[in-house]
């Protein structure tokens, strides 16, 4: 095994707006069967403690509380939950965030702010 070999790569993105507010990460137990969730997806917990894509329009609303740090495949069928890393605080580019397609990112501004997640629009 080489001690100086490449073990990964980094591709910059525009998800993080700035470091004016400390960026902290946490983890989430994602409900299986949601398919591929992309980096920057806004998520929240259901009554069972599993995380789903946040939605204000769902029959039972899923209140936003974190942002996915990476793409995560939860599969296409119900089954075993998938654990993923999330951002639980920081300053993020609102234009780079994703929702369930029925919500706007702005629908989640106020609740995310109470969690220490600040959204700013990048030009």
* Domain extents in the chain: 16-120
**Alpha-carbon 62 to chain mean position:** 13
Residue pLDDT, tens place only, 89-106: 999 999 999 999 999 999
Mean pLDDT of the chain: 92
Question: pTM of this prediction?
Answer: 0.88
How far apart, in whole angstroms, are the C-alpha atoms of residue 18 and residue 20?
6
The answer, yes or no, to whether residue 9 has pLDDT greater than 70, is no
**Which structure tokens are listed for 108?**
């989640």
**Model confidence at 2, in pLDDT bands (50, 70, 90)?**
low
Give the N- to C-terminal CA distance of the chain in Å, as an integer: 45
Beta bridge partners of 62: 55
Beta bridge partners of 24: 89
3-state secondary structure of 58: coil
What is the CATH T-level fold of the domain 16-120, as seen in this structure?
Virus Head Decoration Protein; Chain: A, (2.40.300)
Residue pLDDT, tens place only, 12-32: 779 999 988 999 999 999 999
């Amino acid at each position: 095994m080489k001690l100086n070999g490449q073990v990964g790569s980094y591709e910059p993105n525009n998800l993080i707006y700035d470091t004016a507010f400390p960026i902290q990460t946490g983890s989430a137990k994602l409900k299986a069967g949601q398919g591929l969730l992309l980096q920057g997806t806004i998520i929240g917990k259901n009554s069972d403690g599993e995380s789903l894509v946040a939605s204000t329009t769902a029959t039972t609303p899923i209140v936003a509380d974190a942002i996915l740090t990476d793409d995560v495949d939860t599969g296409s069928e119900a089954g075993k939950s998938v654990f993923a890393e999330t951002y639980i605080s920081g300053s993020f580019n609102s234009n780079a965030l994703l929702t369930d397609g029925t919500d706007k990112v702005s629908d989640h501004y106020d609740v995310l702010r109470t969690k220490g997640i600040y959204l700013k629009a990048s030009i």
